[in-house]
Structure formats: structure tokens, C-alpha cells
Amino acid sequence: MVLTFGGNDAQPIGGDAPVGTDEWRTRYAERVDAVAEALVGGPQVIWIGLPPVTPDNIQVIVPVVNEVLRDAASRWDHIDYLDAEAMFTGPEGGFVEVLSDADGTRTLVRAQDGVHYTPAAGDWLAERVLQFVAAKMDGGSPYPVANDDG
């Protein structure tokens, strides 16, 4: 199972935990753990982290969400973390709209809203997921995951 969500979560949790605070992180982690718990005994899960975004009110949660997801993957045997932030960060760090593909062709990877992927980026991400699954089936992983030693 492949999961990715969190881009619309930049809002108070429970009505009163301000976005990005320690209390917000704790409540968010509880929700991630509830999903993980619900999936115990089910399929192996690849949880895709968030990429950098341009709206500041959403970007503030990106590192927090990614940290929570990495932590969850380190604690739950049925969850692996796939780092989309590393995939969609520019050479000098942070958000970029255009990246070079494997052939050096510059490709628009982010929608005009600064949050969503373009179809080309979705293809890149899907290919990365398929490579990740193939590598896991072969006993390794070419991409950073929280519960992998390499």
C-alpha cells in the first residue's frame, strides 16, 4: 500500500493545537500511529513524505510531518518511509518548480499552486515507488527509508 497525505494538514489539530508546535506534532504523531495501528496485519506500507512547498503556512509543517513519518516507520515493521523531499528539492535546497530528469531534460515538476505535483512529477514518484518495491523484494533499498540500515 502506498500512502501520501499531509499537504492539507496545516491547521490546528483538535481545534486548539497551533500548527507546527510540539503539541501539534504530538497530536499528529498520534494520528499517524492510529493509521499504522489500523494497518497492522495488512499490507506492507510505503509512506511517502512531503516535498517542499511554497506557501509558508504549509511549508511550516513539511519538516514536522516528515519527521513524524520517519519516526513511525522506524517503530512499525510494516511501514517504510520514502523521502519525496529529497527527490523534489532543488540543488541549492528548498522548493523548485523545475528539475532535470535522468537525461538532463528540464521538467516542470510542481503545479502553479506551489503544492501539487505535475503529471510528470507524479510519473517520477510512481517510478521511484516501483523501484523501491523491486529493491525491497530483492532484499535491499536504493532509497532512504527510516527502518532500513542502509
Q: What is the pLDDT of residues 106-116, one digit of tens each?
A: 999 999 999 99
- How do 45-48 and 79-82 pair as beta strands? parallel
Report the distance separating Cα 49 and Cα 82, nearest Å: 6
Q: Which of 126, 114, 60, 59 is nearest to 87 (CA)?
A: 126
- Would you call 48 helix, strand, or coil by DSSP? strand
Arithmetic mean of pLDDT, 99-109: 91
pTM: predicted TM-score of the whole model, two decimal places: 0.86
| Residue 48 pLDDT > 70 | yes
pLDDT for position 129: 95
Confidence of residue 145 (pLDDT cuts 50, 70, 90): very low
Rounded-to-integer distance, Cα 105 and Cα 34, Å: 41
